[in-house]
Structure 1
Amino acid sequence: MAKILVLYYSSYGHLSVMADAVAAGIRAGGAEVDIRRVPETAPDAVVKAAGFKADHSHPVIESVDAMAQYDGVVMGTPTRFGRMSSQMAAFLDQAGGLWARGALHGKVGAAFTATASQHGGQETTLFSIITNMLHFGMTVVGLDYGFQGQMGVDEVKGGAPYGATTIADGDGSRLPSQVELDGASYLGKRVAETAAKLAA
């Protein structure tokens, strides 16, 4: 049975909720899953002043080397000016040894994100994650159009062919919608199924 890591950073909890949905899809796809978050790097004063979420339901990942234990990694981070957060970037910047050893070659990768607005950099943030995955030699899975929930303009919704997304609104008041959670679960299931096929 494939084992997948859902690895994320979340300031206000939106990505934590999305991580749970991705994990549910992974389990539905027949794989085991662990959910971990990357360490906070912002100073305590900034964390407090900005009102970052302090109570997290998922533990911090032990080390960057832990990624090598899995058959796939699904990474989630909010956008920061159209790219991944500095917290996720700082974590991945420690992965030079994994890259040098080719420890992630052939493993499955996928991405998810959150932005304040519909056009707030979702796709460029997903690509900033995917770029790292390609350098690691991973096989990238996107949110294909088999998930029709990302289509249409009947409501505000996230989702892109490059990964699962949610829209948080400028004040963070909007939580992931059911459509967005369904997209995250669909992505997780596709990752699990792809990992199983690659292992066969």
Structure 2
Amino acid sequence: MLVSIVFDSGYGHTRKLVESAADGVKEVAGAEVSLVAVADGNIPWETLAASDAIIFASPTYNGSVSAKFKQFMEDSTGPVWMKQAWKNKVAAGITNSGAMHGDKMGTLITMTLFAAQHGMVWVGLDLFPGRSSTEMNRVGGWLGVMAQSDDAPPEVTPIESDRQTASYLGKRVAELTRQFKAGV
């Protein structure tokens, strides 16, 4: 079972969340993970077509995905959307911004609509909002992971609870994908 994580990370903070999500995916027996950085330019469309699930991750800039992530979305039209090549694949989303709220919901909605247009099956976050900075889902997202990073290096922020939330989502996506593939 292959779970790909397609992401953009302007300053490295979103990448930290992606790495945590990848760790969560790897906790599930038989699950492999492929990281696809949209900034690298050459999107491995064949790998994404072979994936059983795709997690999308982008920083929130001005209430939406980054320009590079938006370009990836637009570039998918020919090789993917026209063929409905991702139909029935499992999908989920991760976002991060400097502000505690930062209009992250706009980014997750953009990703959800993108997945829906491709006929994908969206997986949300099934964690109640944390009540402190040490608890998972401290920002209180249901549609996907919402994390916050201070103006500091990615080695320092996002904090552990946000990375744990991303790891939890990665594991959840892999478990549900396995269940979906098995027809259970």
Residue in 2 that maps onto 1:119: 101
When normalised by structure 2's length, the TM-score is: 0.88
Contact 1:159 1:183 in 2 (8 A): no
Q: Take 2:114 and 2:152, find their aligned partners in 1: how far apart are those partners? A: 27
In the alignment, what sits opposite 1:45? none
**Alignment-derived partner of residue 34 in structure 2:** 34
Could you tell me how far apart the structure 2 residues matched to 1:62 and 1:73 are? 13
**Do the aligned partners of 2:101 and 2:139 also contact (CA within 8 Å) in 1?**
no
Structure 2 residue runs of 5 or longer lacking an equivalent are none
Question: Once the two structures are superposed, what CA deviation does each residue of 1:31-68 show, in whole Å capped at 9, x if it has no partner?
Answer: 1111120026xxxxxxxxxxxxxxxxxxx654345321
**1:103-160 deviation digits (Å, cap 9, x = unpaired):** 1000010000111111211111111111101111111111112xx5x321x3384351
Measured after TM superposition, the shift of residue 177 of structure 1 is 1.2
* Structure 1 residue corresponding to 2:162, chosen from 180, 184, 187: 180
RMSD of aligned Cα (Å): 1.8
- Identical columns (%): 29
TM-aligned CA deviation for residue 168 of structure 1: 1.5
Tell me the residue number matched to 1:56. none
Q: Tell me the number of residue pairs that the alignment of Structure 1 and Structure 2 aligns.
A: 175
Query: Structure 1, residues 145-200: CA drift from partner, whole Å, max 9, x if none?
Result: 2xx5x321x3384351111122123x355611111111101100111011111111
In the alignment, structure 1 segments of 5+ residues that lack a partner are: 41-59
Determine the structure 2 residue equivalent to 1:99: 81
Name the stretch that deviates more: 179-188 or 94-103.
Answer: 94-103
User: What's the TM-score once normalised by structure 1's chain length?
Assistant: 0.81
Structure 1 stretches of 4+ moved >4 Å? none
Letter of the aligned partner of 1:167 in structure 2?
A: Q
Q: Alignment partner for residue 147 of structure 2, among 157, 160, 166? A: 166
